[in-house]
Structure 1
Amino acid sequence: MNLDHVFKKTKKALRKRESTTTVPDGLLCRCSRCKKPILVQEVRDAYYICPKCGGYFKVRAYERIRRVADEGTFQESDRELVGENPLGFEGYEEKLAAERLKTRMKEAIITGTGSIDGIPAALGVMDSRFMMASMGWAVGEKLTRLIEKATTENLPLILFTCSGGARMQEGIHSLMQMAKVSAAMAKHHAAGLLSVCVLTDPTTGGVTASFAMEGDVILAEPNALIGFAGPRVIEQTIGQRLPKGFQRSEFLMEHGFVDRIIERSELKKVLADLCRMHDREYCKKALCQLVDTEIQEGAKKNPAARPALEQKESGSAWEHVLAARRADRPVGSDYIRALFSEFYEFHGDRRFGDDPALIGGIGLFEGVPVTVIAQEKGTSAKDRVKHNFGMCQPEGYRKALRLMKEAEKFHRPVLCFIDTPGAFCGIGAEERGQGSAIAENLLEISRLKTPVVSIFIGEGGSGGALALACGDEVWMMENAVYSVLSPEGFASILWKDKKCAPEAADKMKLTAEDVVAAQAAERMIKEPEKLTIQNMGSVLEQLREELRRFLKQYTVLEPEKLCDRRYERFRKL
C-alpha cells in the first residue's frame, strides 16, 4: 500500500485533492468581459446580462423571440428551408450538417410573425451560433420571403442582426443576397411601412452593408461590434492599432449611423411604442380623438377663464434681443419635456455624425404622434458648450431633414422649435457643406407632404433659423427675434461698429410684432415678464391651443394642396 502524502500536506497531494472538486455541467458560465464565473440562472434572469459587470451575453434566436413577442403569438415561417452547395465546395455539406446538429437550427435566421404588446409584426432574428450567422442563399431567401409577407400584409418589420458577413462557401450566390434583400426592403419602404433594425454583437460585412442599415429606425445593443470590415482586417490593412471603442455601438451613434442604444430590459416596450407611433390607423384615431375633445372642450370653454397676462410695454427691439438671449429662458428641451409624452430621441444624419445642437425624435402630443425637432442651446455653461450654443453643424440640418422625410413617409406632422444665433461657421462646417445642407432643407421642406409648424422660442439667426422655418406656419414667442443677421453683425457690416447693435436692432425690424406684420410669421405667443421654466404655464397653454388648431386644420389637407398653400405663403413675400 502506498501511504505517501497521508500525513503531510504536500503540493502533489493538494493538487490531487483540488482536481476532484467539480462543478455540475450547466450550473456556471464565464462572462467574456469581466472573466468572472456566474450562475447560469442569474444570467438568464438578467436577460443574459452579466450581473457583475453589465456585459452582454449572446442570446439565441428563439430566446430573443420569447422575450420580445407576446406569449403564444409567434408563428415561424419557412422552418424547413435550407440551402445547398452551389459551388460544390468541399466539406460544406458536412459543415452544415454539423451546425444543424449542434444548434438544432436549420439555418442562421429564424423568421415568422407574432405580436409585440398586441401589435402584429414580422420578426427576423439571426443567431451567431450557426456559422457566425453568415448570409448565404437560405438566409437571404428566408429574409426576402419575410419582407415580402410583411409588405403584403401591411406589417411592421423587426430585424435582429448579428453576422460575420457573407457565407464564403457560397461565393457569388452569397453576395447576391445583399442586393435581393435590399430590393425587398425597398418595396417595404415604398408601401409606407415601418422597419426597425436592432444591431447586436457582432454585425459586420455584407449584413451591415445591406439590410441592417436600411431600417427606418436603427437601434443597437450597448457595446456591440458593428462595421463593414472587421477590426483585425482593418488593422492588418493600415498597419495601425485601432482606438478604443472603434466600431462599437456608441461609436456608430456618435458618427450618425445609429438612432438609439437600447438596453435589453427596455426593448419590448420601445419596439411596441415605435410600432404604434408609426401606425397610420393609430395616428388617424388619435387625431380624431384630439379633434373631438377640442370641439367638446371648446363648447364649454369660457374665454375669460384663461388667466390674463400682465400688460406690459413692448420695449425696444434691443431689449427683445437681450430677452431672447437670457440664460434662464426656456430652451428647446424644456418645451419637449413640457408638451410631449413618450418622447424618443433619434440621433444622427446617417452620413457623418450626430449634432448635439439639434434634438430630434418622435413624441406624443395629447396622444397624437408627431415628429419634434428643436435647436438646443443648453442651460448651464457646460451644457451650452456641449450643445454649441444652438449653432448647428451640417449634420444637424441633415438630421432634421432625415427625420422630416421619415415623418412624411408616415404622414406625421412636424413641429420645429427654433433658437439659434445662426448656423455654425467653421472650417469643418464648410468642408462638410454647411451651405449645401441649408439649401437642401429649403428645397425639400418646400415640397414635404406633411404639415410643418415652426416656433421661434428665442433667437432666430439668418439661414440657420430659416432652414427649419419654411413650413406651413411660423409662430413667435413675444420676445423671440428673427433676422437676416445678428444686430452686432449688421452694425459691423453697415456701420463698421458693432457697438451700434442697439440702433441696428431697431432698424432691422426683428421683433415678433415686426415679423408678424411683415407676414413672415402667423402668430405671436404672449409671454409673462421674464419668461422662465417656472412661469411658462400660460405660454404652454397657448401653445397647446394653437397646436390643436394647427393639427385640426392641416392634417385634413391633401398633400398637393398642402404644398400649394406652402408655396403661396412664400410667394407673396
Structure 2
Amino acid sequence: MRLYSKCEHCGDKHFLFGVLSPERNVCPDCGYHYPMESKYRIKLVKDRYSFEEIDKDMSTCDPLDFPEYDKKIRQAQHRSKRKEAVITGRATLGGIPYMLVVMDSAFMMGSMGSVVGDKITRAFERATSERLPVVIFCASGGARMQEGIVSLMQMAKTCAAVNRHSEAGLLYISVLTHPTTGGVTASFATVADIILAEKDSLIGFAGPRVIQQTIKQNLPPGFQKSQFILEHGMADMVVDRHDIRDLLHTFFQLHRDTPKEIDHTELSAADKQWNKKHKKTDKNKAQALDAPAKTDDCADCADSANNNKHENPFAQLIKTARHAGRPQTSDYIRELISDFIQLHGDRRFGDDSALIAGVGFFHGIPVTVIGHEKGRDHDDRTRHNFGMAHPEGYRMAHRLMKQAEKFGRPIITFVDTPGAYPGIAAEERGQGEAIAANLLMMAGLKVPVISVVTGEGGSGGALGIAVANKVLMLENAIYSVISPEGCAAILWSDSSRTTEAAEALKIQAHDLLKFQVIDEIISEPAGGAHCNPAATIESVGQAIARQLSDLLKLSGPELADQRYERFRRIGDCEDIVVKNRN
C-alpha cells in the first residue's frame, strides 16, 4: 500500500491521507495546484446540497462520422464516469443563486464539441432568463477536432449566448484553470466581466508545442502561465484555489443591485479598522492612523513652519502637492473602501502599476475605484512609474468604467500624476488615442462619477480619468495643462521662472474653483495632507459621501447631461465676452 506521494513540482514527499486531499489537491509545501476533478470543483464553490444539474442526459453525437470517434467517446465516458466534458447546473453560494459550469480535462482534454458548446449555451440562456450570474471553470485543450467545423462553430455560438447575457446586465466570471487553450481561450473563456486565472495554470491560444514547432523558438520560463497572462493584461487576478470560494461570494455581493442612498450609519473602513485595532476616541484617531513617516524635506509641517515663511508661496504649493508623504490612492482605498478587490489588465497588451483599479464598497454602496499611484521611496516610485500611466493603464480604466456602467456602479477616481508617460513605447501603443477614448467614453457614462485631485493633476494624463460629474480638489493640490517647469522651459527657455509660470497658469485650487473647473475644495491639515494623512483621508471620504448622495438621486441620462453641461460651460466664449464687458 502506497503511503506517500511525491510532488512533481517541488519533489517533496507527503503523507497521502489528508495532505493532497481531492477537495483542494494543492501541495502544502510549494503550493503547486494539481488538476482537480469536476465533482470536487463543484463542492468547493457551492452551499451544501444546493447544486442542481441541468441537461444531464445530453450525450455526444458524431456529426462527421469521424473514424473511431465513437470508440474514443465510449472510452472517455468509461474512464471519467460522465457523459461529456462539461457539467452545468444551478447552485447557491452564501445563499446567492447562480449558474455554475465546470469543464473537466479528464474527458478528452475538456475539448469542446457540439454537446459541450450546446450545454454552455443553454446554461447562459437559462441564466439570462432567470437573471443569474454565471461562473465557468474552464479546462480545455480547445475545439474537438473529431467534430471538425461543427466544433469550430461552437466558439461563435457560445459567444453569442454570452453577449445576450451581458446585454441583460448580468455578471459572468470565468476561472481559467490548467489547461485552458485553443478555441475555448478564443471564445467564451476570455470574454467574461471578471477573468480569474488559477495559480499554476497553462493558458493561451496556441499551445507551447504548436508555437515551438511553428516558429522554431525556445519559449521563456513561465510562458503562458497564470502570472504571465496577468502581466500581459489578460486576467484580472491570479488566484489560489483556497481563496476562490470567498472571492466569488464577494464578487456576487458587489454585483447585486446598487442602493440609491448612502448608508450614513455605516462606519467607514478606517473607522472599523481604528476601533478594532486601537479602541481609542475619534480625537486620537486622526493623529495616529497609519500616518506615513515624515521625511527630511518636510519643512512645511507645523514643527518647522518658521523655515518656509520667506519661501515663494507657489514654490511652497508645488512642493506640498508633490510631497511623497501625501496619501495616495492605495491609502484612500485602504481606509475608505471595504472588501476592495484589485483588478488588472487592459485585455490587449499589459497591466499598468501606475494606476490602481478595482471594486469595493463605499458606505455600503458597490463602487469602482481608479487612481494614480506614485509610490513613496525611489524603488516604490520606479515600480509605479512615478504615477505616469501607459496606454494600457488608460485602457484598463476604460474597461472598468464601462463595466461599472453595465452594473450601475458609481465611479470614484483619485488623480495624482505628473502626466501620462511620454516614452517611445507609449507612443507606439497609442497614448493619445487611449486618453481620447476615455474622454469620449466618460462623457456619456450613465453612472455617477466623482474625481478627487489629491496631489498633482498633470495635463491629459490627469483628465484621462477625471471627466466627472463632480471634481473635488485638495487645498494644496495643483491641476494644470502643463507642469510649471515645462511651461517655463517652453515659453521662456528659463527654468528659473518656474514659480512665475505656476502663478500665471492658475494651478491652485482657489483659482480653479473660480473657473468652475472644480466643484469643491477639501481643506487640508496645517502644513499639508502629509502632516496628517488620516485627517485628510477622513475629509476626502466625507466630501465624496456628500457629493455621491446628491448624484444618486439623478437618473442615468440626467447624469450624462449634467456632466456634459458641466464641461460645456468651461471656457464658454460668450460667457467670457459678457464678463469682460461688465
**Alignment deviations for residues 45-87 of structure 1 (CA, whole Å, 9 cap, x no partner):** 7711012322111100110110110110000111110121111
| Cα separation, 1, equivalents of 2:569 and 2:197 | 47
| Cα separation, 1, equivalents of 2:286 and 2:89 | 56
| Cα separation, 1, equivalents of 2:568 and 2:363 | 33
| Cα separation, 2, equivalents of 1:185 and 1:472 | 32
Aligned partners of 1:134 and 1:164 also within 8 Å: yes
**Alignment deviations for residues 161-182 of structure 1 (CA, whole Å, 9 cap, x no partner):** 0101111110011101100000
CA change 1:436–1:533 in 2 (3 A) is same
Aligned to 1:44, what secondary structure does the other structure show?
A: coil
- Structure 2 residue runs of 5 or longer lacking an equivalent are 268-284, 288-300, 571-582
Query: Structure 1: which 4+ aligned runs deviate by more than 4 Å?
Result: 291-294, 306-310, 312-315
Aligned AA (1:32): E
What is the count of residue pairs matched by the alignment?
534
Name the residue aligned to 1:420: 417
Deviation at 1:533, TM superposition (A): 5.8
Aligned partners of 2:60 and 2:83 also within 8 Å: no
- Tell me the TM-score normalized by structure 1: 0.90
Name the residue aligned to 1:5: none
Aligned AA (1:459): E
**Alignment deviations for residues 237-285 of structure 1 (CA, whole Å, 9 cap, x no partner):** 11110000111110100010100011111111100000110111xx22x
Name the residue aligned to 2:69: 92
| Cα separation, 2, equivalents of 1:288 and 1:478 | 28
Aligned to 1:43, what secondary structure does the other structure show?
A: coil
Question: Following superposition of structure 1 onto structure 2, how do residues 31-430 of structure 1 map, counting pairs within 5 Å?
Answer: 31-41=7-17, 42-44=19-21, 47-280=24-257, 283-284=258-259, 287-288=260-261, 290=263, 316-430=313-427
Aligned to 1:290, what secondary structure does the other structure show?
A: coil
Deviation at 1:456, TM superposition (A): 0.5
Aligned AA (2:402): K
Aligned to 2:248, what secondary structure does the other structure show?
A: helix
Percent identity, aligned pairs only, is 48
Aligned partners of 1:416 and 1:469 also within 8 Å: yes
Aligned to 1:348, what secondary structure does the other structure show?
A: coil
Deviation at 1:117, TM superposition (A): 1.3
Aligned partners of 1:290 and 1:548 also within 8 Å: no
| Cα separation, 2, equivalents of 1:29 and 1:105 | 27
Aligned partners of 1:291 and 1:552 also within 8 Å: no
Aligned to 1:506, what secondary structure does the other structure show?
A: helix
| Cα separation, 1, equivalents of 2:465 and 2:539 | 21
| Cα separation, 1, equivalents of 2:535 and 2:26 | 46
Deviation at 1:534, TM superposition (A): 6.5
**Alignment deviations for residues 356-376 of structure 1 (CA, whole Å, 9 cap, x no partner):** 100000011122111000100
**Alignment deviations for residues 298-346 of structure 1 (CA, whole Å, 9 cap, x no partner):** xxxxxxxx99999x99972231111011122222111111111111000
Aligned AA (1:368): I
Alignment equivalent of 2:524, drawn from 527, 531, 535: 527
| Cα separation, 1, equivalents of 2:265 and 2:222 | 51
CA change 1:307–1:179 in 2 (3 A) is closer
CA change 1:169–1:524 in 2 (3 A) is same
Name the residue aligned to 1:297: none
Aligned AA (1:290): D
Aligned AA (1:430): E
- Tell me the TM-score normalized by structure 2: 0.89
Aligned to 2:21, what secondary structure does the other structure show?
A: helix
CA change 1:496–1:533 in 2 (3 A) is closer
Two-structure CA RMSD over aligned residues (Å):
2.1
**Alignment deviations for residues 90-116 of structure 1 (CA, whole Å, 9 cap, x no partner):** 211111111111110110011001011
Rg (Cα) greater in structure:
1
| Cα separation, 2, equivalents of 1:399 and 1:529 | 36
User: Does residue 459 in structure 1 map to residue 459 in structure 2?
Assistant: no
Alignment equivalent of 1:496, drawn from 493, 497, 506: 493
Aligned to 1:343, what secondary structure does the other structure show?
A: strand
Question: Following superposition of structure 1 onto structure 2, how do residues 17-28 of structure 1 map, counting pairs within 5 Å?
Answer: 23-24=1-2, 27-28=3-4
**Alignment deviations for residues 91-144 of structure 1 (CA, whole Å, 9 cap, x no partner):** 111111111111101100110010111110100001110000000011001101
Deviation at 1:28, TM superposition (A): 4.2
Which deviates further from its counterpart, 534-543 or 153-162? Answer: 534-543
